[in-house]
Each structure stands twice: as structure tokens, then as C-alpha cells.
Amino acid sequence: MSSTTDAAGGRAQISARTLRTDRWWLPPLLNFAGLAAWVVYATVRAFQQDNYWVGEYEYLTPFYSPCFSVGCVPEASHFGQFLPDVWWLPYASLTLPFLLLFRLTCYYYRKAYYRAFWLSPPACAVAEPHKKYTGETRFPLLGQNLHRYFFYAAAIISLINTYDAILSFRTGIGLGNIILLLNVIALWAYTISCHSCRSIVGGRINNFSKHPARYKSWVFVSKLNAKHMQLAWLTLATLAITDFYVMALAAGWISDLRIVG
């Protein structure tokens, strides 16, 4: 086994694929399984166009919010109906692409799916199977720079989800309300912990001492930012659990556990 650096001062020329002896393949494998399972579930649900609204308690799953299709139950459409009702168009198709792009361009998810799906590289100090590496300098990966704009869109969508969760309390309090509320708290924590949010809050100033409010906000966001990976996974879980609970109620599989009303 030889190990030298190439003449151009680039990568070390190591004949073995990796010198690592630990189970480096486990995190990318788990990420692959987790992300693939979530994407399959979310795609099926987004196109199902059914079991997304519980009229009795005003529960709307985040996968169908805001419900803009003319096919939506009118009471579930808090912001109007103008999209055609066709099978290939999810009812929330105006906002779902932004949420998808927000997560696809997220710094953490990039790391996760570059490793788990593209093996580029699969782990630290493990050679990738690709011959060429151009980083994020070319289309389409150049588009990762748009993350900041998708952050703004995601913040607006989190506001809409919060509005849905608050509206549901008009009918009393049940387990569904608590699940919807916990989901929006998790969504806000993930959104605020975004790296772009951190630079928006703390960037473009030369002196924190002259901007105490922004400094405090930046400290707060930075603390959340350290947990960004955990929050990314937590929100995938809360979104799926919230959607599944609403679906189970709407389909009549279970009844809501009521606390008040």
C-alpha cells in the first residue's frame, strides 16, 4: 500500500479505497434508508388527495397546507382555491416545491445525501467512486446558493402551518392539537436554526456591541444551529407523525383523544 501526494499537490494517491477500519458505512446507510423511506411516504401522501382534513376538529395535515386546489374541502382552504383538481397536482403544490428545495439545499441535508446517495464521498477519508469532482461550482449544484431565498419561503410556510395549528384550537383541545402544535414548534426550531438564518441575523455588521438585540438573537440562533442536524431529523419525524395521525383520524381508523371539548 503506497501513500504519496500527486505532483500537483492535490489528493493523496492511496491505492486502498480507505484506511478506515471503523463502520464508516453505517451513517450513510442509515441516512439513505431514512431519507428514502421519508421521500416515498411523503410522495404517496402528497398525491393521495384524501384523508388530509378532520372537519370535526379542524385538523389539517401540513402536507396539504395551504390547500389551494379546487378539489380541497372548502373548510380546509384557509387561503382560497385556485389550482385545478387533477391527479398529478398535489393540493398544496404551490408551497411543497419550496419546502422540498429548502431541504434539498440545506447545508446538513446536502452533507447527508451527497454521502448517502451520491457517495461523494461516502464518508471522511473514504475515496469516492467518481472520477471527477467539481464541488458545487456547476449547474445544477450551483443552485445550492439559492438556499437563503428558500429559507424566506420556508419561514412563510411555517407561519401558515402555525396558523393552521392555532385555528384547530377553536374546537377544543385533543391529542391532535398537541401533535400539530409540537410539529410547528419543531418546524420553527429547524427553520430558525438554518445557517442562512444565522448569517441573516448576525451578518453585515462590524460591531456586535452596537447591535445588542441582533447579538442576542445571533447567540440564540447559534445555539439552535449547533443542533441543526438533530432538528432536521426531528422535523422529518414530526411531519410524518402529524400527517399519519391526521390521516388515521380522517380515515376513521382511530378517534382523537380529547382533553377539552
Question: Hey, is 115 helix, strand or coil?
Answer: helix
At its nearest, how many Å lie between ligand FES and the CB of residue 227?
Answer: 11
Q: Does 201 bind ligand FES (CB under 6 A)?
A: no
* Span interacting with ligand FES, options 15-23, 115-123, 175-183, 189-197, rule CB under 6 A: 189-197
At its nearest, how many Å lie between ligand FES and the CB of residue 97?
Answer: 16
Give 125-179 as a DSSP string.
Answer: TB--S-S---TT-STTGGGGGGHHHHHHHHHHHHHHHHHHHHHGGGG-EEHHHHH
- Closest to ligand FES by CB, 3 vs 199, is 199
At its nearest, how many Å lie between ligand FES and the CB of residue 103?
Answer: 7
Backbone angles phi, psi at 70, to 5 degrees: -70, -10
At its nearest, how many Å lie between ligand FES and the CB of residue 208?
Answer: 22
Instruction: Count other Cβ atoms within 10 Å, centred on residue 67.
Output: 27
d(CA 80, CA 89): 16
Q: Does 76 bind ligand FES (CB under 6 A)?
A: no
Which residues are paired to 258 by β-bridges? 174
Draw the binding track, 103-122, toward ligand FES (x: CB under 6 A; -: no contact): ---xxx--------------
Residues found near ligand FES in the complex (CB under 6 A): 106-108, 147, 151, 194-196, 228
